[in-house]
């Protein structure tokens, strides 16, 4: 029986998704990366390969009021922060890139937080 390599499976799913999901200047890509202890989000314009806005639980602004950086509340806070920063830069609509992870738990909480602050996807 083959050994399960979860990271390799996630990368395989992410590559498959990236064939369809592309960030444009009008609608950049909101990319999410989830590690065991932190969650990261970036808004990327793939046409020029630049990160326009970023937020993560590593930042003091995000993590100062959190009990933990690895729960749904932390992910929701990161979603709210990235949405606020995006709206300040004039970005209202994005394409959501879940990074090969299931749309569940922390990934879904981040998306809910971004939507609650006015980001559309």
> Six-digit token pair at 53?
């806005």
pLDDT at 51 over 50: yes
pLDDT at 112: 98
Instruction: Read off the pLDDT of each residue in 80-84 and give the average, rounded to a whole number.
Output: 97
Average pLDDT taken over every residue of the chain:
94
HSE toward the beta carbon, residue 48, CA cutoff 13 A:
9
pTM reported for the whole predicted model: 0.90
Q: Is CATH 3.30.420.100 what the domain over 29-116 is classified as, yes or no?
A: yes
Checking if the pLDDT of 98 tops 90, the result is: yes
pLDDT interval class at 1 (50, 70, 90): very low
């Amino acid at each position: 029986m083959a050994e399960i390599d979860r990271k390799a499976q996630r990368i395989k799913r992410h590559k498959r998704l990236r064939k369809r999901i592309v960030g444009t200047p009008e609608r950049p890509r909101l990319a999410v990366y989830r590690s065991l202890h932190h969650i990261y989000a970036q808004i990327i314009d793939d046409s020029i390969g630049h990160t326009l806005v970023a937020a993560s639980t590593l930042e003091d602004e995000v993590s100062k009021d959190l009990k933990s950086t690895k729960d749904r509340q932390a992910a929701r806070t990161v979603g709210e922060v990235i949405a606020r920063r995006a709206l300040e830069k004039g970005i209202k609509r994005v394409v959501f890139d879940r990074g090969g992870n299931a749309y569940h738990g922390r990934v879904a909480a981040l998306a809910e937080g971004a939507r609650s602050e006015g980001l559309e996807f």
